[in-house]
């Protein structure tokens, strides 16, 4: 029961920034609810994958692939470009905390001087943020590459 409540709360909280970014990107009014729903589904699936023991980078990749597949399906159904749904939906999974921690640690190194411990924290969080962003980018683009590629001789 607690897992279900945590999942619902996570999905609801992820729908808010997905909806907000969809509004910033001037997504048509009829598509806003789908952006929020897709953001919730993506973030919820990433949470379930992480609870199953998959690390955040791979879970983000797989959730982005799911977002890409659903976005392509919905784009055919609602006659809109897939990016209308997918870009806003993937925004809640961007690694704000690791990127912020890396940046603050870099400022501390600049202010306090070099320390091996601070450098290790900075590099660790920087690489984690880069790998998550890369996983989201590649995961979001793969379904389109699989479904829209040109077949030779056709």
Q: Which domain, by its residues, includes 66?
A: 2-148
Tell me how far apart the alpha carbons of residues 127 and 119 are, in angstroms, rounded to a whole number: 12
For residue 127, tell me if it sits in a domain: yes
For residue 154, tell me if it sits in a domain: no
Tell me how far apart the alpha carbons of residues 128 and 114 are, in angstroms, rounded to a whole number: 21
For residue 102, tell me if it sits in a domain: yes
Tokens for 58?
């791979």
Q: What angle do CA 127, 20, 54 make, to 5 degrees?
A: 35
Overall domain count for the chain: 1
Per-residue pLDDT, 116: 96
Burial class of 110 by CB neighbour count within 10 A (0 to 12, 13 to 18, 19+): exposed
For residue 153, tell me if it sits in a domain: no
Q: Which of 47, 76, 73, 77 is nearest to 62 (CA)?
A: 47
Per-residue pLDDT, 153: 57
For residue 143, tell me if it sits in a domain: yes
Tell me how far apart the alpha carbons of residues 1 and 106 are, in angstroms, rounded to a whole number: 41
For residue 113, tell me if it sits in a domain: yes
* pLDDT tens by residue, the chain, 154 residues: 899 999 999 999 999 999 999 999 999 999 999 999 999 999 999 999 999 999 999 999 999 999 999 999 999 888 888 999 899 999 999 999 999 999 999 999 999 999 999 999 999 999 999 999 999 999 999 998 888 776 665 5
- 54 phi/psi in degrees, rounded to 5: -80, 140
Per-residue pLDDT, 149: 73
Per-residue pLDDT, 47: 97
């Amino acid at each position: 029961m607690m897992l279900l409540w945590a999942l619902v709360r996570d999905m609801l909280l992820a729908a808010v920034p997905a909806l907000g970014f969809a509004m910033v990107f001037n997504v048509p009014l009829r598509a806003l609810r789908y952006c929020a729903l897709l953001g919730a589904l993506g973030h919820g699936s990433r949470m379930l994958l992480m609870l199953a023991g998959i690390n955040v980078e791979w879970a983000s990749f797989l959730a982005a692939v799911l977002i890409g597949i659903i976005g392509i399906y919905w784009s055919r159904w609602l006659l809109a470009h897939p990016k209308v749904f997918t870009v806003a939906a993937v925004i809640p999974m961007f690694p704000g905390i690791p990127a912020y921690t890396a940046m603050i640690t870099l400022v501390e190194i600049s202010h306090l001087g070099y320390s091996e411990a601070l450098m290790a924290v900075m590099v660790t969080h920087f690489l984690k943020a880069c790998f998550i962003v890369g996983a989201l980018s590649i995961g979001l683009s793969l379904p389109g590459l699989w479904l829209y590629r040109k077949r030779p001789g056709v």
